[in-house]
Amino acid sequence: MRYTLFFLIGMSFLACKPDKKDEPKPDTDLITGTYAPEDYPLNLPKWMPPLPASPGNSLTKAGVALGRMLFYDPILSRDSTQACATCHQQAKAFTDGLATSPGIRGQNGTRSAMPLVNLAYNTRGFFWDGRSVALEDQALLPIEDHLEMDDTWENVERKLRRHKDYPQQFRQAFGISRKTELTRDLVVKAISQFERTLISAYSRYDRVVWAKEDFPTDEEQRGLELFFIEYAGNQAHPGCSHCHFNPLFTDNNYHNNGLDNVPNLNAFKDLGRGKITGFMTDNGRFRTPSLRNVALSAPYMHDGRFKNLEEVLENYSRGGHGVANEDANIMAFPLTQQDKSDLIAFLKMLTDTSFVNNPAFSNPFKR
Ligand code: HEC
Ligand code: HEC
């Protein structure tokens, strides 16, 4: 009995410890290779203001390159059918041409995808209602949004750690040495780095007004004046530049620009900023979108209610509805057919073909 027991213990010992006793198991978690980060230079023309700092996440070439891949890679969605770029397409100034966007379950959200232009300048919160303070917070949300990419971060981390290239790229971008260090925080840092490079500053408007490389047409010149000037004699003009001002064509602030005729401040279908701050006076306020590349980003407003720029202008020219928190700069103004086409000619000057065709912003999987 005693011998059998010893024999069994001996056998099991042998079974567990095969002959290569001294050789360590290969460490499959380890990522090796060089980590030599290089700054990513953002060369801004002189008419653009300096960029606010992005503390804890400065731009590197490897970080931006990785962020670009992640932005275009459907691996971030549950069934690998949807990438950030599905709803944010370069040719449309990184929006999707739809009033509201279907997520991977085919259900639509309630708001229109936003253009991603000059985000690096915005310090007042992201989304139409500003609910994300930093770009890094913003990018955490679409992944787990059931109406968007509908995955879980645990699963996305698992997929990226198993991937044949990504662990190495995360090492190059962030110096990690283990796959387990590849976390959601680094995913959103990389995506945010890429998003901060999406600068549009070389539209026809910039070339004419700042660089003085060209002259405006008569239509463009009249449109430009209408857009900026508020009174000529007794004649009220649009004064669009109160909120959409130079050189970003947004103040990144929250306003009620007079879209909805509601009986009181609690009656807005979408409370917008008010839902975030809890202040009733913020109900129905939304963040001013930049008008750079606006001719490419139809339909318009937070819910995509206007199909084209004509409809937008007609609505502004009717003024607001006298709702308590409507901005004081929203007032009716006359809009002739000529004014309309002049203003549209001006808005089209804000189209930046070098932005929408920039190879650095395009899909890296389609070369
Ligand atoms: C299903 C479509 C869809 C997908 C996929 C999607 N977005 Fe969006 N995106 C939207 C919509 C809609 C909004 C506006 C939502 C709101 O304001 O509530 C938005 C807003 C944003 C904004 C805010 C821009 C600003 O000026 O405030 C950023 C940045 C952004 N998305 C980046 C991303 C990134 C990064 C991904 C991938 C991780 C992504 N989006 C995936 C539809 C989408
Ligand atoms: C009081 C500030 C303010 C003024 C003045 C103003 N806007 Fe706006 N604009 C906004 C806000 C806020 C939004 C977003 C509203 C929303 O979606 O609910 C917006 C949205 C837009 C959009 C839609 C952009 C998009 O991406 O969906 C266009 C186009 C536009 N404005 C053009 C103009 C023009 C042209 C004028 C002058 C006639 C003008 N705005 C005057 C604040 C203003």
* Mean pLDDT, the chain cut into blocks of 10 residues (367 residues total): 48 50 80 94 94 93 98 95 96 96 84 97 97 94 91 96 97 98 98 98 98 98 90 73 95 97 97 98 98 98 98 96 94 93 98 98 91
CA angle at 50 for the pair 48 and 53, rounded to the nearest 5°? 140
Ligand 1 pocket, residue 293 CB under 6 Å: no
Residue 90 CA, ligand 1 centroid: distance in Å: 13
Instruction: Please state the φ and ψ torsions of residue 272, each to the nearest 5 degrees.
Output: 60, -130
Asked if residue 343 has its Cβ within 6 Å of ligand 1, the reply is no
- Assess whether the C-beta atom of 227 lies below 6 angstroms from ligand 1: no
| 223-128-299-47 Cα dihedral, nearest 10 degrees | 40
The helix/strand/coil state of 17 is coil
Q: Looking at residue 104, what is its pLDDT?
A: 80
> What structural domains does the chain harbor?
61-200 (1.10.760.10), 204-351 (1.10.760.10)
Q: How many angstroms does the Cα of residue 234 sit away from the middle of ligand 1?
A: 43
Task: Give residue 367's pLDDT.
Answer: 66
Residue nearest to atom 33 of ligand 2 (CA): 240
Q: Tell me what pLDDT residue 229 has.
A: 79
3-state secondary structure of 281: helix
Atom 3 of ligand 2, residue of closest alpha carbon: 243
Backbone phi, then psi, for 103, in 5-degree steps?
-85, -165
Q: How far is CA 311 from CA 11, 352, 364, in A?
A: 84, 22, 36
* β-sheet bridge partners, residue 235: 232
User: What are the tokens at 188?
Assistant: 């959103």
Residue 111 alpha carbon, nearest atom of ligand 1: 12
Nearest CA to ligand 1 atom 33: 84
What are the residues facing 89 on neighbouring strands?
95
Task: State the pLDDT at residue 283.
Answer: 98
16 is in an annotated binding site: no
Q: Say if ligand 1 is within 6 A of residue 116 CB.
A: yes
Q: How many A from CA of 302 to the centre of ligand 2?
A: 10
DSSP three-state, residue 198: coil
- The two beta strands, 235-236 and 286-287, are unpaired
pLDDT given for residue 24 in this prediction: 75
H or E, element range at 287 = strand 286-287
CA of 272, closest atom in ligand 2: 18
Virtual torsion, Cα 80, 81, 85, 86, nearest 10 deg: -160
- Nearest-angstrom CA–CA distance, 118 and 135: 12
What is the structure's pLDDT at 21? Answer: 61
C-alpha triplet 259, 262, 263: angle, nearest 5°:
155
**pLDDT at residue 147 in the model:** 87
Distance CA 332, CA 317 (A): 5
Residue 248 main-chain phi, psi, to 5 deg: -90, -15
**Is 244 among the annotated ligand-binding positions?**
yes
Angstrom distance (rounded) from CA 90 to CA 194? 13
Give residue 111's region: left, alpha or beta (phi > 0; psi -120 to 50): beta
How many angstroms does the Cα of residue 289 sit away from the middle of ligand 2?
A: 7
Ligand 1 site-directed mutation target among 66, 71, 73, 84, most atoms within 8 Å of CB = 84
CA distance 8 to 6: 5
Closest C-alpha among 46, 93, 30 to residue 212: 46
The residues with which 326 forms a beta bridge, in sequence order, are 256
pTM over 0.85: yes
Show the DSSP H helices in 267-364 as ranges: 273-277, 309-317, 337-349, 353-356
| β partners of residue 272 | 285
Quote the CA–CA distance of 260 and 274 in Å, as a whole number.
Answer: 15
Which residues approach ligand 2 with their CB closer than 6 A?
115, 238-240, 242-244, 255, 257, 259, 286, 288-289, 291, 294, 297, 300-302, 312-313, 316, 327, 329-330
Report how far ligand 2's centroid is from the alpha carbon of 240 (Å): 7
Decide whether any atom of ligand 1 lies within 6 Å of the 167 Cβ.
no
Closest residue CA from atom 11 of ligand 1: 113
Q: Is 323 in the pocket of ligand 1 (CB under 6 A)?
A: no
In angstroms, rounded to a whole number, what is the distance separating the alpha carbons of residues 24 and 252? 56
How far apart are the C-alpha atoms of 162 and 153, rounded to whole Å? 14
